[in-house]
Amino acid sequence: MSLLSFQKALTDLIASPQLCLQVRAHPAETLSRYDLTPREVTRLKTVVHQQGMSVSCTLYRVNRITPIYTMLPYTCLLLGPALIPLAEEFWEICNKSDLQFKREITLFGDFLLQQITTGSLQNPYLGEIVAMELAINELKFLPRTALLNAPVNEEGLHPLIRLVPFDHEPEPLLIELSRMQIPPFTAGTGEYFLVIDHREEELSFSTLPRKTGAVAL
């Protein structure tokens, strides 16, 4: 068990600069949560002061922020300077990562949606943009060719189509974001669906009034 505990402690340290600082300041207390031999405790106390540990922590954080920044670009734009503090909060909560893009962006997106629901994050466009980018990535990870001839579901939707509710007209909002500009918080509200269709090789987008619903799309 000691070797497994040592590996677990080392992995946790690489994933958390804060934990490294805690070990530096209070090594015995912090490492007491692991089943370590005195020799292993000494090794870890030495490791957290090595320059290589700082590099490892940085690489780990880069590997975790890369899928977020790459696959949730409009979300990141809307978050602005709040992105890194929120990512760090997310990493503290979800410190078990396999560094797979799909899982990482889904978990981070769900984390943001929860923050919006509780009122911790307040941005009139953020919820719908997070939901849109999660839907886009969900479609991109599906086996498109295998699903092309699949039947529609009970709601009349083809499995390669997603409907994302919007409280603002999608087109002008997305035009602003595509220019990497923060839209003004004065846009009119309404009830819309953004239709994301991946039946063709390239994604296509259209807008429906929300009252239309999903009818054989």
Given a cut of 80, whether residue 118 has pLDDT beyond it is yes
In the block, tokens 């009349």 appear at 156
Q: What is the pLDDT of residue 1?
A: 46
Given a cut of 70, whether residue 62 has pLDDT beyond it is yes
Given a cut of 90, whether residue 83 has pLDDT beyond it is yes
Q: What is the pLDDT of residue 199?
A: 95
Cβ proximity of 19 and 45 under 8 Å: no
User: What share of the chain in percent tops pLDDT 90?
Assistant: 48
Alpha carbon 25 to its chain's center:
31
With a CB cutoff of 8 Å and minimum separation 6, the contacts of 127 are 113, 116
Highest mean pLDDT among 149-153, 178-182, 193-197: 193-197
Least confident span in 79-83, 104-108, 123-127, 155-159: 155-159
Work out the pLDDT band at 130, boundaries 50, 70, 90: very high
With a CB cutoff of 8 Å and minimum separation 6, the contacts of 30 are 19, 22, 23
Average pLDDT over residues 99-110: 89
* Domain definitions of the chain by residue range: 2-49, 57-212
Cβ proximity of 189 and 203 under 8 Å: no
Q: What is the pLDDT of residue 35?
A: 87
Q: Write down how long the chain is.
A: 217
Q: What is the pLDDT of residue 177?
A: 93
